[in-house]
Amino acid sequence: MTNVLSTEDKARPILQHKDFLTLGHFNKTEITMLLAEAVKLKKQTKAGIFNPCLRGKVLGMIFEKASTRTRVSFEVGMLQLGGEAIFLSAGDIQLGRGESNADTAKVLSRYVDGLMIRTFSHKIIETYAQYATVPVINGLTDLHHPTQVLADLLTIYEHKGKLAGLKLAYFGDGNNNMCHSLMEGAVKVGMDVAIACPTNYRPNPEILGELKQEATANGTKLSVSESPAEAMVDADIVVTDVWASMGKEQENEERKNIFAPYQVNENLCKHAKADFTFLHCLPAHRGEEVSAAIMDGSHSVVFDEAENRLHAQKALLKLLLG
Establish whether 245 is an annotated binding residue: yes
- State whether residue 294 is helix, strand or coil: helix
Q: How far apart are CA 80 and CA 74, in angstroms?
A: 10
Establish whether 94 is an annotated binding residue: yes
* Sequence-distant contacts of 39-44: CB under 8 A, at least 24 apart: 39/1, 39/154, 39/157, 39/311, 40/7, 40/315, 41/311, 41/314, 41/315, 41/318, 42/154, 42/308, 42/311
The vertex-146 CA angle with 242 and 257, nearest 5°, equals: 15
Establish whether 69 is an annotated binding residue: yes
Establish whether 246 is an annotated binding residue: yes
Establish whether 281 is an annotated binding residue: yes
Establish whether 118 is an annotated binding residue: yes
Establish whether 241 is an annotated binding residue: yes
Establish whether 110 is an annotated binding residue: no
**114-118 and 136-140 as β-strands: parallel, antiparallel, unpaired?**
parallel
Active-site residues, by number, are 118, 145, 148, 241, 281, 309
Phi first, then psi: give them for residue 193, nearest 5 degrees: -130, 130
- State whether residue 85 is helix, strand or coil: strand
Contacts of 307 (CB under 8 A, 6+ apart): none
Say which amino acid occupies 190: G
Establish whether 133 is an annotated binding residue: no
Establish whether 147 is an annotated binding residue: yes
Q: List residues forming the annotated binding site for L-ornithine.
A: 177, 241, 245-246
Q: List residues forming the annotated binding site for carbamoyl phosphate.
A: 67-70, 94, 118, 145-148, 281-282, 309
Q: List residues forming the annotated binding site.
A: 67-70, 94, 118, 145-148, 177, 241, 245-246, 281-282, 309
